Structure formats: C-alpha cells, structure tokens
Structure 1
C-alpha cells in the first residue's frame, strides 16, 4: 500500500513539474499573427505560438476557399508550397510595410496570399 501511495505521489509530482506555464497568443491583427508565426523556437512557448499560427492559417484558408464563392482570392500552385515557407513569407510581408500590421489577421493573410499566389 505504501509503495502504491508513493508511486501515485511521484507521478503527480512529475506531472506538475512538466506542466507548462499558460501563455496568451493574440492574433487579432496581422502584426500579432506575424509575431506568433515568427516566434523564436528557442524561447518558452514558441512551439505553441508557431503551431497556433499554422493552425490559424490553415483554418482561415480552408474556410475562405469553402465559403468564398466561385471566384477564389488566391490560387496555390501545384505542388503547394510548404506552410512554414508561406508563413515565413507572410511575416516578411507584414513587416515590410508597417500599415499592414494593423489589418485584421485573416484579411491581412488573404491580402498577402492574393499578392503572392494570384489566380490566373
């Protein structure tokens, strides 16, 4: 019984030691989304920020392409570019013109994609 109790206690302590501090990820603007996408992988919480960036982009793009009507605002080439490459380009695009940072995050992403991957 004592061994079982000790094991449960050790497992509980191990799990709490591994729990990460909660972070806040803001992506209301293109600048905030770019900051999440550009997180330094060596900093705490970077994985969460980068994964959120990619998930946000995938969700926004999928929704736009499914509900945007007949005229697509952007067309990916075949084969499609890697998501990491595209989001890194998005970060550079936002940072190249300060006025882009205040755009709504989805609107900014779509403007970037329309410029980068225009439809024929």
Structure 2
C-alpha cells in the first residue's frame, strides 16, 4: 500500500500547482516528514502543507477503518464521539511526533496509526473470568 503514496503525493502536488509542489514530499513519506508538514505555521504560504497533512490524515484514517471492517478485525484505534476537530487532531499528532522521535523513520501511515492507537485505543472486549480456586 505504501508504494503508491509517494506517487500520489507527487500527483497531488502537480495537480494543485507550484505552491503545493514546493511543499509535498517527493521521497517516500516518513513520520518525521508528515509531522513537519502538519506542524507548518498556518500562514498563506503554508496552507498547502496543512491541506496535504489533513488530506493524508483523513485518507489514511478512513482507509484503515474500512480495511479493518472488511477484514472483520478490530481497528487499531477508535475515535471518540464527538471526535477532535481537524486542528486538534493535527496538533496532537505533531506533539506526539515531536515527543516520539524513535518513530520518525517509520512510514507516515505507520506513524499516524501508531499515534492514533496510543491516543484513542479501542475498548478491549470483555474476557470471561477464570475459575479461581
């Protein structure tokens, strides 16, 4: 799955114009790069980085949830209802990424899912009590 992400990022950059082309990564996207893009100051010149960040987060999250559902598996994370705003999610991911540099070289998808699983773990299914003697 992660093999098409750099090509998709580049295609998005080319389609969106020169401003995004200067922001979007052309190398395989790792967690550190996504944290950098998501942590860009919200100015007009950084708007493409923010748009790329949010689009990546939403797409990766929806894809993970859909794949887990189709596979009949519990997802790695369970968002609360109501969930955080895009800005809150983005800020929390950036803070997590900066606090966890050991995951910087993981693929961006892996780092993002690791963050979400640590932040919003799914409730564990109750297991039957063992017969204690």
Give yes or no for the alignment of 1:37 onto 2:53: no
1:32-67 Cα distance to aligned partner (Å, 9 max, x none): 0011111112362x1000011000010001111001
Q: How does 1:15-30 map to 2 (within 5 A)?
A: 21=19, 22-26=21-25, 28-30=29-31
How far apart are the structure 2 equivalents of 1:29 and 1:43?
24
Instruction: Select 1:113's aligned residue among 99, 112, 116.
Output: 116
Match of 2:95 in 1: 92
Unaligned runs of 5+ in 2: 1-16, 124-133
The CA distance in 2 between the partners of 1:42 and 1:76, in whole Å, is 28
For 2:86, which of 83, 86, 89 is the aligned residue? 83
Give the Cα separation in 1 of the matches to 2:78 and 2:37.
24
* Alpha-carbon offset, residue 103 of structure 1: 1.2
Gapped runs of 5+ residues in structure 1? Answer: 1-18
Provide the residue aligned with 2:10 in structure 1. none
Larger Rg: 1
Give the number of the structure with larger relative contact order, counting CA–CA contacts within 8 Å between residues 6 or more apart. 1
Contact 2:77 2:120 in 1 (8 A): yes
Q: TM-score, normalised by structure 1?
A: 0.77
Alignment of 1:49-88 (within 5 A): 49-68=49-68, 69=71, 70-88=73-91
Q: What TM-score comes out, normalization by structure 2 length?
A: 0.70
Structure 1 vs Structure 2 CA RMSD: 1.7
The number of aligned residues is 101
